A = this chain, B = another copy of it.
């Protein structure tokens, strides 16, 4: 296998950026326990805990597998750890002291583990570093953008292959399975990571006709039927028919990095109503892309799209049907699908350069279906660059 290791310079820069912020927040060290975060700062997702002091070299403590962690991580200090209980001793051994104020990711750390850490560090205050880490991860490096562009290219191939797979009478879940197979052949990793206790992302988000107006647990314009109340999101068993919109919202993950995109398939021609609504979605996307510049406020862009959708005649369709609308039109994306910033109600982010976001203006018609477009884009000083390169026409077969 071609080794997809994270470059040394990349890890060094990430550690430097974290170490710069820690003293500003009066935190002596970060103790990083969440896999996606320690993968980001170490280059390995082997079972580990990463200690990053504000000034000295970080220490990666590895439970399993040590050999792979050493091979994958460019960090200089990688040591074995038999159990988390051994952490304080290793810190003392490497740094001479136990910090009085350490940061952990309290947005994901389970309470039971927190109590255990409190016992292990009885004289240490444990504060939250989730916000700091999320802010650092929001800004993408050229290396990260390269991974996301590759994910975008895989997405392009998958949507194109979908045109030769889709046929009338195929179930949504079967079409989703075929797309997933096509993606895996190109090294799509299959899972889409989410920073949340209860929210799961399904790659096989194939919603045909009326399925497009079924909402579910997530704050999204449409959820789909899913396969059962246990998994009530995404493709269901409905047979896909001709002349109805087939909305395919398909996340691709390459080397850890995700892009999210949505395109519309149809078998035969789509009724004019949906064609027009799709064109309106694209107009709203154009408005967003024009507004998406460093310094702009995300809530204001979101609100502008609401007004524009109403002007276009889609007040009752845009981002869902009344009473069941989603409250956002774009989300940050990278190693996880729900990164900051959000273009959403009440979310006042100021956009920054080198942030990646997925923008998804969509229209829902109750009982009939949904259409819309989604692209993952990079914010640059000049405007936006699309990371999802697939044709934006209706994919009619």
Contacts and interface: CB of A to CB of B under 8 A. Distances in A.
A232 interface: yes
Contact of A65 (B111, B180, B253, B324): B324
Given A1-B236, A228-B256, A173 B197 contact: no
A191 B46 CA distance: 21
Interface stretch (A51-59, A181-189, A384-392): A181-189
B230 A45 contact: yes
A219 B82 CA distance: 12
Interface in A107-157: 107-115, 128, 130
B223 A65 contact: yes
A329 to B, nearest CB: 17
A229 interface: yes
A237 B5 contact: no
Contacts of A200: 191
A215 interface: yes
A68 B108 CA distance: 28
Contact of A185 (B112, B177, B198): B177
A316 to B, nearest CB: 18
Interface in A233-265: 236-238, 253-257
Interface in A170-221: 171, 173-174, 176-178, 180-181, 183-185, 187, 189-191, 197-198, 200, 202-204, 215-219
A216 B184 contact: no
Contacts of A114: 111, 114
Interface residues of A, number: 75
A247 B47 CA distance: 23
Contacts of A5: 229
A355 interface: no
A29 interface: no
A142 to B, nearest CB: 18
A68 B183 CA distance: 31
A44 B216 CA distance: 11
A2 interface: yes
A46 B232 contact: yes
A35 interface: yes
Contact of A46 (B47, B176, B180, B216): B216
A43 interface: yes
Given A190-B204, A204-B190, A177 B174 contact: no
Nearest to A203: B190
A371 interface: no
Counting from the closest, the 6 A-B pairs by CB-CB distance are A230-B256, A177-B184, A177-B181, A35-B198, A106-B111, A47-B217
Interface of A: 1-2, 4-6, 33-35, 39, 43-47, 64-65, 68, 72, 104, 106-115, 128, 130, 171, 173-174, 176-178, 180-181, 183-185, 187, 189-191, 197-198, 200, 202-204, 215-219, 223, 225, 227-232, 236-238, 253-257, 324, 335
